[in-house]
Chains A and B, each alone.
Chain A
Amino acid sequence: MDQIDEFASMFRRAERRPFVHETVPLVRVAIVTDGDADAANSIRERLVTFVPRLSSVEDWQLITGDQFHTVQELTDRLTSDTPDLVVTFRHLHEESLIPQHSLGVYVDVMTQVLAPPVLLLPGTGRQPGDFASEACDAIMVVTDHIAGDSRLINYGVALSAGTGDMWLCHVEDDAVFNRYMQAIEKIPEIDTEQARVLLGRQLLKDAGDFIESAIAELQTRQTGVTYHASVVRGHRLQQYLQLVESHDVHLVVVNTKDEDQLAMHGMAYALSIELNDRPLLLL
């Protein structure tokens, strides 16, 4: 009955999850900061420079440090205000001035509890970093969490200045691949070399097909942007950091939610910690 599996695999392989373009609404934006109203207004102005599309936002909700004292208080307010985007910093209501090994409890909870995405700006709540010397025209979308999640790319497109470059990236974890290959090498019924080639190819294929379909669709919609695909296998964190550095990426879009756990998705957390010098859009 091996042929049943063979044909089922062929038909599953023929299944495509094409990219579906959707316009992301950005009507109501909340800025959460430790600072006062002036500081919040300053952030808003720089934000509009960074993401020109935000100039059409109708409702800015500026939540300053004195308007919330607990995580619950803040999340309750944001839930009732229903913004389309939350803009904030690491380590809200914390003394640490040098972000190193965490994001702070507020960001941790906001990304997991709130429906709208969180735009995490460089620096901390106390000491915001510099981020808006120019419009955002170099965006990297990390699609490795779920290839097929059009939402991630749609948000990247929504925050783009409409010019420049966008990298749609997927990195398959080499360590995981090698661990499975080590197991396969010990199974006489499986041809090791064939498994290495076919497994390696199939792992990259789904993401590659999805990214290809996204680029084909986006090229007809946002013609000022040059789209690039990067689908590789390697050390995931190092590969992403290298891509960010080598392309001087202004904004990284990453998925943080994981159906299987309450905490932030592993790769998103690692990137959020490491990339503290540039804005991150956490979905």
Chain B
Amino acid sequence: MSGWLLLAADTTTTHGTVDAWITALFAFLLVAMIAALAFEEKLHAKKSIIVGCFAGVCLILETIISAWTGERLVPFGEVTLPNGHSISLPVYIPAIDWGVITIILGASLFVEVTSRSGVFAWLAIKVTKLSGGDPWRLLIAYGLLTVIFSAVLNNVTAMIIIGSLTTVSLGKLKRNDLLLGFLVVEGLLTNVGGLLTLISSVPNIIVGKTAGISFVKFFLIAAPYVLIATAATLFLGKWRFKIRGLVSEQDREEAAELVAGFDETENIPSERFFWFSVGTLVAFIACLAGQQQLPWDLDKLGMGFVALFFAGVVLLAYRHEVDKFYAAMDWDLLAFFAGLFVVINVMEHAQVLAVIGRAIQSVLALPESSASSILLASSAVASSVTDNIPLAAMLAKILAGMDLASDSPFWWCVIFGANLGGNITPIGSASTVVAMTIIHRQKLSLSFPGFVMTAAPFAVAQILLAILYVLIVF
């Protein structure tokens, strides 16, 4: 159906005129890729392979079509550098947003090394002990920690750390009856925490970078919402999963004694490296926050350089075994991004994004409150069934083509929608997939529809709060 609409569409844009059938063909490939990503588990194929295949097919088709029509779709040839020099690059190299790739590469490497210092495990055990083993206080502690870890690390690592600790600590407290509720709430909070800073999640990086939102501005706008949504999620979780505080003094003493048995220093291999990691983590966040104010033109190096620089600094501590950290990197994710940028570049030149952009433009032409609400809700629904990264990359490119100001609410609608949509279904985000994996490993019964039913009130509340927040703030 969408193909026929595309065939009828006028696809003359800044990139020149493209035959409607070419646009329809590539639109079909885009839909097929999104569908393939949604059924990633069924296909038994990693994201990078799926997107890489589509990127290859897109480039081959584009080249053959260009040869037939005699007009290049994606411009080939030399690339002129700012200093006037020209270099020859393969067509797929300039298509990749290397700024995004370097941020993800540097930040992942930095987190991988600093986590070896035991700093995150130390913090996690410390708050467990501070909670005194009281279930409600423990839920608050783990909830806040999930948000902080999601903001500083990434959603998946945050879920792995907190989810693992939850299974161990509730087992020790003999409260496995609360495990499902804890894991669901933590899974849902990863996507809320992922909104806190510009580098907390990939959609933030892509949309924030495209919109030109600074690290500090991003944090100042996102933080109040994260606070409200976290509190709402915790109270909803308390009510939904009947998580109560301990009443009797004896129960409180017993619980406190059990969690006191944890030793937070156990996973710290070296006190020196521990404090070195804490110091570099603080410096890393400070540099990201003040990156645009760096003196002597250092700001021009970009956030990707900051991330790579700090990764290099912490790697010095393990200089004789850096290969282990390189091996631990999520190369699937990085290759996925590279492939995705190639696909989107082809889609842009094939005018597919222009067609989708026009459909979105008709929504944005509505009164701003309605437009924001529809854009946010539809982004959330779309990212609940497929990967939010292609969605964010595509929408960011489309919105960039509309010359929106960096303080436009529409950027934030995409950011909120792409992040929170992950809470609607268990496949909506990588961290909810991890939560489901831990749930199943613990032999807890929660099916796909079961998760949707359980998470629905939380996701609806978070999305409604986000719509209200966008309408009030902008």
Q: How far is the CB of B112 from chain A (nearest CB, A)?
A: 10
Contacts of B160 in A (CB 8 A): 3-4, 7
Contacts of A197 in B (CB 8 A): none
| Given A7-B161, A7-B164, A7-B165, A14:B267 Cβ within 8 A | yes
Complex Cα distance, B168 from A9, in Å, reads 9
Q: Are A4 and B438 in contact (CB under 8 A)?
A: yes
Contacts of B262 in A (CB 8 A): 11, 14-16
Q: Are A16 and B168 in contact (CB under 8 A)?
A: no
Q: Are B164 and A13 in contact (CB under 8 A)?
A: no
Does B167 lie at the interface of the complex (its beta carbon under 8 Å from any beta carbon of A)? yes
| Given A4-B437, A4-B441, A7-B160, A14:B167 Cβ within 8 A | no
Does A17 lie at the interface of the complex (its beta carbon under 8 Å from any beta carbon of B)? yes
In which size bucket is the chain B interface?
20 to 34
Complex Cα distance, B434 from A121, in Å, reads 58
Q: Are A11 and B261 in contact (CB under 8 A)?
A: no
Q: How far is the CB of B201 from chain A (nearest CB, A)?
A: 18
- Secondary structure at the B interface, as helix, strand, loop or mixed, is helix
Which residue of B is nearest A11, CB measured?
A: B168
Q: Are A8 and B164 in contact (CB under 8 A)?
A: yes
Does B169 lie at the interface of the complex (its beta carbon under 8 Å from any beta carbon of A)? yes
Which residue of B is nearest A4, CB measured?
A: B160
Find the residue from B121, B262, B266, B438 having the highest chain A CB count within 10 A.
B266
Which residue of B is nearest A20, CB measured?
A: B257
Q: How far is the CB of A235 from chain B (nearest CB, A)?
A: 30
Does A18 lie at the interface of the complex (its beta carbon under 8 Å from any beta carbon of B)? yes
Task: List CB contacts (< 8 Å) of B396-411 with chain A.
Answer: none
Complex Cα distance, B169 from A83, in Å, reads 39
Complex Cα distance, B267 from A15, in Å, reads 11
Does B131 lie at the interface of the complex (its beta carbon under 8 Å from any beta carbon of A)? no
Contacts of A16 in B (CB 8 A): 261-263
Q: Are B121 and A11 in contact (CB under 8 A)?
A: yes
Which residue of B is nearest A9, CB measured?
A: B164
Does B252 lie at the interface of the complex (its beta carbon under 8 Å from any beta carbon of A)? no
Query: What per-residue 1/0 map shows which CB atoms of B256-280 lie under 8 Å from chain A?
Result: 0000011110110000000000000
Contacts of B203 in A (CB 8 A): none
Contacts of B165 in A (CB 8 A): 7, 11
Which residue of B is nearest A14, CB measured?
A: B266
Does A198 lie at the interface of the complex (its beta carbon under 8 Å from any beta carbon of B)? no
Contacts of B264 in A (CB 8 A): 14
From B157, B168, B434, A15 is in contact (CB under 8 Å) with B168
Does A12 lie at the interface of the complex (its beta carbon under 8 Å from any beta carbon of B)? yes
Does B163 lie at the interface of the complex (its beta carbon under 8 Å from any beta carbon of A)? yes
Q: Are A11 and B263 in contact (CB under 8 A)?
A: no
Contacts of A13 in B (CB 8 A): 266-267
Complex Cα distance, B157 from A15, in Å, reads 21
Contacts of A183 in B (CB 8 A): none
Does B185 lie at the interface of the complex (its beta carbon under 8 Å from any beta carbon of A)? no
Does A187 lie at the interface of the complex (its beta carbon under 8 Å from any beta carbon of B)? no
| Given A13-B267, A14-B264, A15-B261, A8:B121 Cβ within 8 A | no
Does B125 lie at the interface of the complex (its beta carbon under 8 Å from any beta carbon of A)? yes
Which residue of A is nearest B128, CB measured?
A: A11
Does A190 lie at the interface of the complex (its beta carbon under 8 Å from any beta carbon of B)? no
Complex Cα distance, B441 from A12, in Å, reads 16
Contacts of B121 in A (CB 8 A): 7, 10-11, 14
Contacts of A262 in B (CB 8 A): none
Contacts of B267 in A (CB 8 A): 10, 13-14
Contacts of B168 in A (CB 8 A): 8, 11-12, 15
Contacts of A18 in B (CB 8 A): 261
Contacts of A8 in B (CB 8 A): 164, 167-168
Contacts of B167 in A (CB 8 A): 8
Q: How far is the CB of A183 from chain B (nearest CB, A)?
A: 24
Complex Cα distance, B129 from A11, in Å, reads 13
Contacts of B169 in A (CB 8 A): 11
Q: Are B164 and A11 in contact (CB under 8 A)?
A: yes
Complex Cα distance, B172 from A8, in Å, reads 13
Query: What per-residue 1/0 map shows which CB atoms of B168-193 lie under 8 Å from chain A?
Result: 11001000000000000000000000
Which residue of B is nearest A18, CB measured?
A: B261
Which residue of A is nearest B437, CB measured?
A: A1
Contacts of A17 in B (CB 8 A): 261
Contacts of A11 in B (CB 8 A): 121, 124-125, 164-165, 168-169, 262
Q: How far is the CB of A190 from chain B (nearest CB, A)?
A: 16
Contacts of A4 in B (CB 8 A): 160, 163-164, 434, 437-438, 441
Which residue of B is nearest A16, CB measured?
A: B261
Complex Cα distance, B168 from A71, in Å, reads 45
Complex Cα distance, B397 from A115, in Å, reads 75
Which residue of B is nearest A3, CB measured?
A: B160
Give me the interface of B with A, judged by CB distance under 8 Å: 118, 121, 124-125, 157, 160-161, 163-165, 167-169, 172, 261-264, 266-267, 434, 437-438, 441
In addition to A4-B163, A8-B164, A14-B121, 8 A-B residue pairs with Cβ atoms within 8 Å of each other are: A1-B434, A1-B437, A3-B157, A4-B160, A8-B168, A11-B168, A15-B172, A17-B261
Q: List 30 A-B contacts (CB under 8 A).
A: A1-B437, A4-B163, A4-B164, A4-B441, A7-B121, A7-B160, A7-B164, A7-B165, A8-B164, A8-B168, A10-B118, A10-B121, A10-B164, A10-B266, A11-B168, A11-B169, A11-B262, A13-B266, A13-B267, A14-B125, A14-B262, A14-B266, A14-B267, A15-B168, A15-B172, A15-B261, A16-B262, A16-B263, A17-B261, A18-B261
Give me the interface of A with B, judged by CB distance under 8 Å: 1, 3-4, 7-8, 10-18
Q: Which 10 A-B pairs have the closest CB atoms?
A: A7-B164, A14-B266, A8-B164, A11-B168, A16-B261, A3-B160, A10-B267, A11-B165, A14-B263, A14-B262
